[in-house]
C-alpha cells in the first residue's frame, strides 16, 4: 500500500508495525452535517477498514471542537446555550455518519474536556521559549521553529493572505510576527472562560488538536488526516507546536488530506451556506448510493457536486444489491458503467 504524504509531496510505501494510530480532525458543531463532511469521513472509514483487513490494529481518534467563535455566534443567534448547541449538532453528526455506515472512532474527545491539559502544553511552550504572553494572550513564536511552511509549501505572502482569510488575525498588534499564532485567547466580557496562568480564557484552535492527538495516540501519530483546507494554517501550526514540545520525533509519519467538495462554484461550507445536507439526501437515496457517489471520486480530488451523481450512484447500488441476491451465474450482466466504477 502507498499513501500520498502531503509533507514529502509524494506517494510513499506505507510502513508500519502491527499497531497504527490515526487522528482525523473533527467537526466544529454549530450546524448540520453536509456532504463535504461525509466525503472526508467516508474516505477515512474505507482507509480504517483496509488497514484492519491488512492485519493492523488501528486506534482512531477524532476530536470535537465544542468551543469556538462560530459556536458562540450561532448560539447567540439562536438564543441557546453554546453547550446545548454543540451537543445537539454533535449528536446529529453522529447519527448521519452512522446512517452512512461510517464506524465511530475509538476516541471522540471534546475540546472542553481537555482544557487543563492544553494549558499545561502551552505552559511548557512558554517555558521552552517557543511561546510568549501579551496582555493575557499567548502566542507561538514562529522564529523558534525553522521548519514552518514545509507542510503547506507556501511563501510568506501566501501564508499571510490565508491566515487573514481563515481566522489567523495577522493584524493583531500584540504579535511579534504577524504569523505568530494564538495558543491562548483572553476571554471577552461574558464569554465562556477557563482559568490559566495568563488570563481567564480559552485555548486556540491548533493547540486543541495537538493535545488530543498526543494524549490519545502519542508521538509519532502514524496518519494524520483532514480536509485539504486544513493544511494551512491548522496542520502547519499543529506540526510546529507539537514538534517543539517533542523535538526528538516527527509529530506525524503520514499527512493525508482529502479534497474539497464544491457546490454552486464554491467550496461547500457552513460559513458560505451552500450546503447539501446528508439528512436530506438520506430521505431520497440509500446510504450505499451516497457512499458510492463519494467514492467514485479520487480522495484527493476537489470536485463539483451535481445532483445527477446521486441518481447514477443509486442505480449502481440497486444493481449491486440485485446481483448479490442472484444465484451464482444467473441474471443479466451488470451495467458496464458499474464495472468501470
List the chain domain ranges.
18-113+259-341
Domain 18-113+259-341: state its class.
Answer: alpha beta
C-alpha cell at 7: 509533507
User: What pLDDT shows up at residue 166?
Assistant: 85
C-alpha of 154 from chain center: 20
Q: pLDDT, tens digit, for every residue of 273-330?
A: 778 899 999 999 999 999 999 999 999 999 999 989 999 999 999 998 888 887 765 5
Which of 64, 78, 73, 93 has its CA nearest to residue 192? 73
Residues in the chain: 341
* For the chain, counts of helices (H) and of strands (E): 11, 13
Low-confidence ranges of the chain (pLDDT < 50): 337-341
Q: What angle do the packed helices 115-127 and 236-245 form, to 10 degrees?
A: 70
295 phi/psi in degrees, rounded to 5: -80, -5
Q: Around Cβ 195, how many Cβ atoms within 10 Å?
A: 11
Cα(279)–Cα(66) distance, rounded to whole angstroms?
21
Cβ-based neighbours of 19, under 8 Å, separated by 6 or more: 56, 57, 58, 59
What count of Cα atoms within 13 Å lies in the side-chain half-sphere of residue 193? 17
**CB of 299 closer than 8 Å to CB of 56:** no
C-alpha cell at 244: 517543539
Sheet strands (E) in the chain: 2-5, 10-13, 19-24, 57-62, 131-134, 137-140, 182-186, 201-203, 221-227, 252-258, 261-263, 266-267, 303-304
Q: Compute the chain's Rg from CA coordinates.
A: 21
Q: Around Cβ 264, how many Cβ atoms within 10 Å?
A: 10
Amino acid at each position: 500500500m502507498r499513501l500520498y504524504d502531503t509533507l514529502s509531496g509524494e506517494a510513499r510505501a506505507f510502513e508500519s508495525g502491527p499497531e497504527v494510530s490515526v487522528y482525523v480532525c473533527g467537526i466544529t458543531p454549530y450546524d448540520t452535517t453536509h456532504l463535504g463532511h461525509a466525503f472526508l469521513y467516508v474516505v477515512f472509514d474505507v482507509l480504517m477498514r483496509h488497514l484492519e483487513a491488512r492485519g493492523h490494529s488501528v486506534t482512531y481518534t477524532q476530536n470535537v471542537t465544542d468551543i469556538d467563535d462560530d459556536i458562540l455566534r450561532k448560539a447567540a443567534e439562536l438564543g441557546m446555550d453554546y453547550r446545548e448547541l454543540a451537543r445537539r449538532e454533535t449528536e446529529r453528526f453522529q447519527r448521519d455518519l452512522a446512517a452512512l455506515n461510517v464506524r465511530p472512532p475509538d476516541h471522540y474527545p471534546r475540546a472542553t474536556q481537555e482544557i487543563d491539559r492544553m494549558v499545561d502544553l502551552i505552559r511548557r511552550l512558554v517555558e521552552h521559549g517557543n511561546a510568549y504572553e501579551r496582555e493575557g494572550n499567548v502566542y507561538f513564536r514562529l522564529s523558534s521553529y525553522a521548519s514552518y511552511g514545509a507542510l503547506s509549501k507556501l511563501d510568506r505572502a501566501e501564508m499571510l493572505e490565508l491566515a487573514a482569510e481563515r481566522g489567523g488575525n495577522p493584524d493583531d498588534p500584540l504579535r511579534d510576527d504577524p504569523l505568530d499564532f494564538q495558543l491562548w485567547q483572553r476571554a471577552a466580557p461574558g464569554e465562556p472562560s477557563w482559568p490559566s496562568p495568563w488570563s481567564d480564557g480559552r485555548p486556540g484552535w491548533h493547540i486543541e488538536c495537538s493535545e488530543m492527538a498526543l494524549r490519545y495516540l502519542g508521538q509519532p501519530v502514524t496518519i494524520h488526516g483532514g480536509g485539504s483546507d486544513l493544511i494551512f494554517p491548522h496542520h502547519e501550526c499543529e506540526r510546529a507546536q507539537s514538534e517543539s514540545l517533542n523535538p526528538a520525533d516527527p509529530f506525524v509519519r503520514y499527512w493525508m488530506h482529502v479534497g474539497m467538495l464544491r457546490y454552486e462554484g464554491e467550496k461547500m461550507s457552513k460559513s458560505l451556506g451552500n450546503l447539501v445536507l446528508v439528512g436530506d439526501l438520506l430521505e431520497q437515496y440509500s446510504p450505499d448510493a451516497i457512499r458510492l457517489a463519494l467514492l467514485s471520486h479520487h480522495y484527493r480530488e476537489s470536485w463539483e457536486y451535481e445532483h445527477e451523481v446521486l441518481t447514477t450512484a443509486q442505480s449502481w447500488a440497486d444493481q449491486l444489491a440485485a446481483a448479490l441476491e442472484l444465484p451464482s451465474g444467473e441474471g443479466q450482466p451488470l451495467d458496464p458503467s458499474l464495472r468501470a466504477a
